[in-house]
């Protein structure tokens, strides 16, 4: 199935290292810009924060949430929950 974003879905802008350029080629992005150094900024619709958490955990330091501010804690929070499972 093809993802059809809802206007009410959260829009997230990510700064991607060149190694994470595949994100813009794999997922539907609404905006994309590329800097001279090869980094990209992409904006995508996110219907489920869990999906974004998985993507960010997969990307690790190759991605940074630029906006919105409330989405910046999604990956660290997910990583903390995973660590707690292994410690528990």
pLDDT at 2: 74
pLDDT at 1: 62
Sign of CA dihedral 67, 68, 73, 74: negative
For residue 73, the cross-strand partners are: none
Of the candidates 54, 36, 46, 37, the one whose C-alpha atom is nearest the C-alpha of residue 13 is 46
Q: What is the pLDDT along the chain (88 residues), one digit of tens a residue?
A: 678 888 999 999 999 999 999 999 999 999 999 999 999 999 999 999 999 999 999 999 999 999 999 999 999 999 999 999 988 7
Could you give the angle at the alpha carbon of 36 between the alpha carbons of 34 and 40, nearest 5°?
A: 25
pTM > 0.95: yes or no = no
pLDDT at 61: 94
Give the position of tokens 């919105």: 68
What value does the CA radius of gyration of the chain take, rounded to a whole number of Å? 13
In 3-state terms, what secondary structure has residue 88?
A: coil
pLDDT at 19: 96
């Amino acid at each position: 199935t093809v993802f059809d974003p809802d206007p009410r879905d959260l829009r997230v802008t990510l700064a991607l290292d060149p190694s994470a350029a595949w994100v813009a080629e794999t997922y539907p992005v609404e905006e994309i810009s590329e800097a001279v150094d090869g980094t990209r900024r992409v904006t995508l619709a996110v219907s489920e924060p869990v999906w974004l958490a998985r993507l960010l955990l997969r990307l690790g330091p190759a991605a940074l949430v630029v906006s919105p501010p409330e989405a910046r804690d999604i990956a660290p929070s997910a990583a903390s929950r995973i660590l707690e499972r292994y410690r528990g």
